Structures are given as structure tokens and as C-alpha cells.
Amino acid sequence: MTAPLPRHVAIIMDGNGRWAQARGLPRVHGHEQGAESVRKVTRMARKIGIEVLTMYSFSTENWNRPRDEVAALMKLLHRYLKDERQEMLDKGIRLRAIGELERLPKFVRVALDAVMKITDRPGTQMTLNLALSYGSRAEMLGAVQQLAQRVQRGELSASAISEEIFAEHLHTSGLPDPDLLIRTSGELRLSNFMLWQLAYTEIYVTDIAWPDFGEREFRAALDAYGLRQRRYGKTGDQIQAGSA
């Protein structure tokens, strides 16, 4: 029996800077090589039938990095959007972005909005979801504030707020929660990423730095996921009985 594929894979792409420094290269070279890994993994995910692929591309904390590195990352993101636009159209990939997008430079926002608009059409095979200027605590705080305003306006009672309604006010509204989280470069933390959405997500950590992560490494993560038993609080016997 073929192992089930995750519907939604989320990736914390870590290790670009360290990969470059270990080779005596400027950190930006690691980010450039990491962009190639994004292309490889995105193409494979679409080909094998992953519905949603979320890439943690730039966190709210990343704004604290050296100004020249942030500027280089924004230019790299802009170039990626221009270079990949046609392939997204040809391959039926819908681009989506989550985070405090208003903090991005205007030239990046314009390119991002254009690609999201042109790829948002019927018949798409996969959603590529970029987490940009994203922080999960800020996302959840924003959801709480929106709900409080609705309660204050009388549109919603506090007792009616459910997990489903709360999730509708998150940036990921309309997307399934991730089934699999991949983190590269061996770090064992969530880094303020999708803290609500990852409640029952299977986690896979590899020591491989993101610039060295390609199709073989992605397949290894998917194979490991296929061996997991997702119990959601139940026992293994209950899961087996339910599938019999």
C-alpha cells in the first residue's frame, strides 16, 4: 500500500547563512543557493500532488538582521517573483503570502501582488504559500483583536467563538493545517512559526542545511512522514480499529 502524502507541507528553511560562512562565502550566497532549493522542492511538491507548500521565507524577527543582508534578501525575493512568475502560470501554481506584508518594501509588494493576482485562477494544482515578515504571535494577537472588535460591534457573542471561527481570522484562513513540518539545519525550535496551525503536525528535522536540501532530502522527509501514525490523542489500537 502506498504511504499517504501530506496535503500541506510547511518548511522552516534554515542554515543559508551558516552554509555560506562554512565555505568562506558572504551570507547572501547562501540565500541565493537557498532560492534554488525553493525551486527544486516546489517543482517536486507540485509534481507528486502536494496541495499546499508553505515556506517560512522571512520572519518578523529577521528585520533585526544587518541592514545590508535584509536589503539583499528583499532584492532576491523580488528577483524570485519575476523569474518564477511564468513557471507558476504554466504549472498551475497559485501563489499566496502570509505575514505583515505591509512592512515589505514597495517594489517587493508590487511584484508580490501582481503574481498573486495573476496566479489566482481556477484549475491550479498547488498553492505555494510564502510566509513573509511573518510571526505567529502577532498573527494570533491580530485574530484576537479582530474577534474582540466583532464582539464589541455586536456581530458575534464571545461564547460563540470556536476553534473554527478563530482559525478563520488567521492569515492561513482557507488552508488546511500543515500535516508535516520540515526544519533544516538541525535546529529544534518552532521560531514563532504557525504556533496554532502546528498543533497536530508531524515534525521532521534534518541536519542538512537548506541550500543542500533537494529532491532526495524532500523524499526522505515524505517517506518518514509515511511511517508515522497520526493518533490525535487516540491510542494506536483505536486508530487500527477505525481503519479496519
Q: What is the pLDDT of residues 27-71, one digit of tens each?
A: 999 999 999 999 999 999 999 999 999 999 999 999 999 999 999
pLDDT lower than 50: segments of the chain: 1
Q: What are the chain's domains?
A: 8-134+177-235 (3.40.1180.10)
SS in 3 state form for the chain? CCCCCCCEEEEECCCHHHHHHHCCCCHHHHHHHHHHHHHHHHHHHHHHCCCEEEEEEEEHHHHHCCHHHHHHHHHHHHHHHHHHHHHHHHHCEEEEEECCHHHCCHHHHHHHHHHHHHHCCCCCCEEEEEEEEECHHHHHHHHHHHHHHHHHCCCCCHHHCCHHHHHHCCCCCCCCCCCEEEECCCCCCCCCCCCCCCCCCEEEECCCCHHHCCHHHHHHHHHHHHCCCCCCCCCHHHHHHHHC
- Listed in sequence order, the residues at least 6 apart from 110 whose beta carbon sits closer than 8 Å to its beta carbon are none
What is the rounded (10 degree) CA torsion for 196, 199, 205, 211? -30
Buried b (16+ CB within 10 A) or exposed e, 138-154: ebbeebeeebeebeeee
For the whole model, what pTM was predicted?
0.94
Residue 209 dihedral angles phi and psi, to the nearest 5°: -70, 150
Catalytic residue flag (residue 129): no
User: What is residue 238's predicted lDDT score, i.e. its pLDDT?
Assistant: 52
Q: Which of 16, 62, 212, 223 is catalytic?
A: 62
User: What is residue 234's predicted lDDT score, i.e. its pLDDT?
Assistant: 60
User: What is residue 237's predicted lDDT score, i.e. its pLDDT?
Assistant: 59
Catalytic residue flag (residue 64): no
Nearest to 52 by CA among 153, 221, 177, 141: 177
Measured N-to-C along each axis, helices 67-91 and 106-119 cross at an angle, to the nearest 10 degrees, of 20
User: What is residue 142's predicted lDDT score, i.e. its pLDDT?
Assistant: 98
User: What is residue 1's predicted lDDT score, i.e. its pLDDT?
Assistant: 41
User: What is residue 229's predicted lDDT score, i.e. its pLDDT?
Assistant: 82
How does strand 126-134 pair with strand 93-98? parallel
> What does pLDDT average to over the chain?
94
Q: Does residue 47 come out as left (phi exceeding 0), alpha (psi in the -120 to 50 range) or beta?
A: alpha
